[in-house]
Chains A and B, each alone.
Chain A
Amino acid sequence: MSERELISKKELLELTGISYGQLYRWKRKQLIPEEWFIRKSTFTGQETFFPKELILPRIDKIVNMKDDLSLDELADKLSPFLFDHPLRKDELGKRNIVSKVVLDRFCGSDPDNTVYAFEQILAYYAVDQMLQSGAMSLEEGELLLMMLKEHGAKFEGRACELLFIRKMGVPVFALAASPSELIFENGAKVVAKVSLTDYMEQLKLKLT
């Protein structure tokens, strides 16, 4: 895993044009997760850094949405906690949240009016996204679905990454708390590494 690019607090404020007060307020409201505040010592003393590829889109999102929504509503959408938004199966297909292929293959036997909880929708959504990226086959999707059903709940409220590794053609799925650093042996290939928290956010935006 490569070293993540960091941005200092000062650079961030200059780049985005927000003030210290806003940044602290958003932190208080948990719009910016605690783990993104990385303290490092520099020659001028302790400074706070952020992972650049995570914080910039997040600030963008907050700045764009804060006119329409209150900060508390925003926090609900962005927090890593699961929220309660069950949806019917036919709705999932109709609103293009999960593709028909996935629905037919993995829950073909459920009647159209089955109501899925958010966690289940998230699992289907993750499988769908992975399939669409072309990295994974349908059979492997089944493995992923099983793992998410069994272990997905263990990461509730925490940032979490989904890893898809293949060695000699054998697929392995893993869930890891992020940020974590993992090193694999040479023969293993990391096919995909996605943030489940990102999927969760995308899904929340699609659902509401």
Chain B
Amino acid sequence: MERTKALPDLTINGVGQASGGSYGEVRIDGVSRLKGDIECEKLHINGVVSTHGTLKAKEMAFDGKLNAGELLDAGNARMNGMVKVKGRFRGEAIELNGFIDVGGDLSAERLVCRGALDVKGLLNAGEVDITAEGRCKAREIGGETIRTRRRKSGAWRAMWGWAIPKLIAVTEAETIEGDRIELEYTTATAVRGSVVHIGKGCRIGSVEYTGQLVVHPEAKVEHQARI
């Protein structure tokens, strides 16, 4: 899109709301509700924001709680806190820390996630890097490089996990498909890829690989097949 003149900026401090539009820079501190579709170059949010339509930004920095509607297009984003998207979540390079809940598909070129994740659809990213601190769940994970890990857990954490199952740091998916896959503490029905490393604490139904497969002695794989 060619910009003929500079787009206006939007700033909300405190409690407010805005209807949609195209903006240059949007800065929100406090509690606000965005009612229409918003498109902007840069988006800074501190606080609680809820949107109904689509929210598109080329760059996004966010701390707090976000409730997004149909579509969240975050571009290059760094997000801390709770993010809930009803529809699809799209972006280029996304760094997520906290609780993320996506109703549709989540796609990005590069996704670094630390915390808990719940994707009802397909998680599709060129590079997926998940560090589980709570339950990370997706129906499917697909991409070029997929890596899942768990953060070191202490005794307290184990106790909390026992009380609240959502806090058990594991990754769960029906299928995981990619070129290079490295898993740790992951439960999946099927894993398919060319170079597959199954690490500690994994429980996998079947692994299909074309190149190489390494299975950690503390992992459980029911079937494995080279094709």
A and B bound?
yes
Question: Chain A residues near B206 (CB, 8 Å)?
Answer: 44
- Which residues of chain A come closer than 8 Å to B227, judged between CB atoms? 14
In the assembly, what is the distance between CA of A46 and CA of B227, in Å?
20
- Shortest CB distance B183–A (Å): 15
Report A-chain residues with C-beta under 8 Å of the C-beta of B107.
28
A134 at the interface (CB under 8 A from B): no
Interchain nearest-CB distance for A207 vs B (Å): 21
- Count how many chain A residues have C-beta atoms less than 8 Å from C-beta atoms of the other chain: 13
Q: Given contacts A45-B174, A46-B174, A46-B175, are A24 and B142 in contact (CB under 8 A)?
A: yes
Across the interface, which residues of B come within 8 angstroms of A10, CB to CB? 192, 208
Q: How many residues of B contact A (CB 8 A)?
A: 23
B179 & A19 in contact (Cβ 8 Å cutoff): yes
CB–CB B194/A24 < 8 A: no
User: Is there an interface contact between B178 and A21, defined as CB atoms closer than 8 Å?
Assistant: yes
What are the residues of chain A within 8 A of B194 when measuring CB–CB?
Answer: 19-20
List B contacts of A23 (CB < 8 A).
142
Q: Mark B149-190, 1 if CB is under 8 A from A, else 0.
A: 000000000000000000000000011011100000000011
Most chain B beta carbons < 10 A, residue from A21, A24, A25, A44: A24
Give the chain B neighbours of A25 by CB distance below 8 A: 126, 143-144
With a cutoff of 8 Å between Cβ atoms, the chain A residues found around residue B126 in the complex are 21, 25, 28
B193: interface (CB < 8 Å): yes
What are the residues of chain A within 8 A of B54 when measuring CB–CB? none
Instruction: Say if the beta carbon of A85 comes within 8 Å of chain B.
Output: no
Would you call A24 and B175 a contact (CB within 8 A)?
no
Minimum CB–CB distance from B17 to chain A (whole Å) comes to: 30
Question: Which parts of A83-134 form the interface with B (CB within 8 Å)?
Answer: none
Central interface residue in A10, A21, A25, A44, by most chain B CB within 10 Å = A21
Decide if the interface of chain B is mainly helix, strand, loop or mixed: strand
B124 at the interface (CB under 8 A from A): yes
Which of A20, A27, A28, A46 is in CB contact (< 8 Å) with B192?
A20
User: When the two chains form the complex, which single residue of A14, A20, A27 contacts B178, counting CB atoms closer than 8 Å?
Assistant: A20
A75 to B124, CA, bound (A): 17
A46 to B121, CA, bound (A): 13
Q: How far is the CA of A81 from the CA of B208 in the complex (A)?
A: 37
In contact, A45 and B177 (Cβ under 8 angstroms): no
Question: Are B193 and A27 neighbours in the complex by a CB distance under 8 Å?
Answer: no
In the assembled complex, the CB of A151 is this many whole angstroms from the nearest CB of chain B, namely 26
- Measured CB to CB, the nearest residue on chain A to B223 is A44
B124 touches A28 (CB 8 A): yes
Given contacts A28-B124, A45-B190, contact A20 B175 (CB under 8 A): no
CB within 8 Å of B: which A1-59 residues: 10, 14, 19-21, 23-25, 27-28, 44-46
B196 CB, nearest partner CB in chain A, Å: 11
Contact of A44 among B109, B124, B190 (CB under 8 A): B190
Q: How long is the Cα–Cα vector from A62 to B121 in the complex, in angstroms?
A: 25
| Interface contact B189-A24, CB-CB below 8 Å | no
Task: Tell me the bound Cα distance from A194 to B220 in angstroms.
Answer: 50
Q: Which residues of A contact B (CB under 8 A)?
A: 10, 14, 19-21, 23-25, 27-28, 44-46
8 closest Cβ pairs, A-B complex? A21-B144, A21-B179, A24-B142, A20-B177, A28-B107, A45-B189, A24-B124, A19-B179
List 26 interface pairs A-B (beta carbons < 8 Å), by A numbering: A10-B192, A10-B208, A19-B194, A20-B142, A20-B177, A20-B178, A20-B192, A20-B194, A21-B126, A21-B144, A21-B145, A21-B179, A23-B142, A24-B124, A24-B142, A24-B143, A24-B144, A24-B178, A27-B124, A27-B142, A28-B107, A28-B109, A28-B126, A44-B206, A45-B190, A45-B205
With A19-B194, A24-B142 given, name 4 new contacts (CB 8 A). Answer: A19-B179, A24-B143, A27-B124, A27-B142
